[in-house]
Amino acid sequence: MNTQVHQATNDLPYCLVFAQHPRSNLTLLSELVERMGINDEEDIPDNVYVENGDDNENGEFDNIVEDISVQSTGETTPLPSTSIQNNEIQTPHITENETGYYSSEDDIDLIEKYETGYFIQDCMMYKPFSIFPPRQYRATYVFRLDTWLRYTLQSTFTEADRTFVLRCLDDLRKWNDNESEDRVIEDDGTLEIFETWPERIRQYDERQIRKYQFIVNYC
């Protein structure tokens, strides 16, 4: 820390930044290390009480007195255990018949309230759109998926992503087949958007093939 007094302000840089003088004679750390073997603040047990008396109103750097008292119920206080028990581990929930799309168990109750029986509406509450309660309008799904697909095709597009998009595409094409309270029959013009997805995926596959051929030929 810079402890030089600035000529223009006649004060320490620490005081200019924090509007108070730095504390001195701090013995708490050494007490904790020597007596209890504690090096980090977050490891201090609850039964250790630290009382600080910070009387620094006069700005006297050399006359600061820090009153620290450490009270412990025993000679040595064991640190809290950081081990994880088996019953504390929460595994992600996998929806039935939709392997690979997860949601934390905290979201299950909420998701079950919105189940519709349609792939795109139910599945988008899981990966990659968690949580995303079902909407009645097809455009809501198309615009979200289109943005996500553009990004994914420029980074990492997996087979799971391909299956997800194609199943969503099939559901979007059938959106207006039957009237349902979970859907609104409409001619929203989104057909021109989601029908470009297969071509984008095909172009992605071609890029991957060319990239692989380049590596084979020049490596």
In 3D space, the residue among 134, 141, 142 whose CA is nearest the CA of residue 181 turns out to be: 134
pLDDT at position 171 = 94
pLDDT at position 182 = 80
**Spans of the chain, pLDDT less than 70:** 1-3, 6-7, 22-37, 39-43, 45-104, 219
Q: Which residues make beta-bridge pairs with 183? A: 180
pLDDT at position 28 = 63
- pTM value is 0.51
CB atoms under 10 Å from CB of 122, counted, come to 20
pLDDT at position 161 = 93
pLDDT at position 108 = 81
pLDDT at position 128 = 81
Report pLDDT digits (tens) over 62-113: 443 344 344 444 445 454 444 444 444 343 344 444 555 555 677 788 888 8
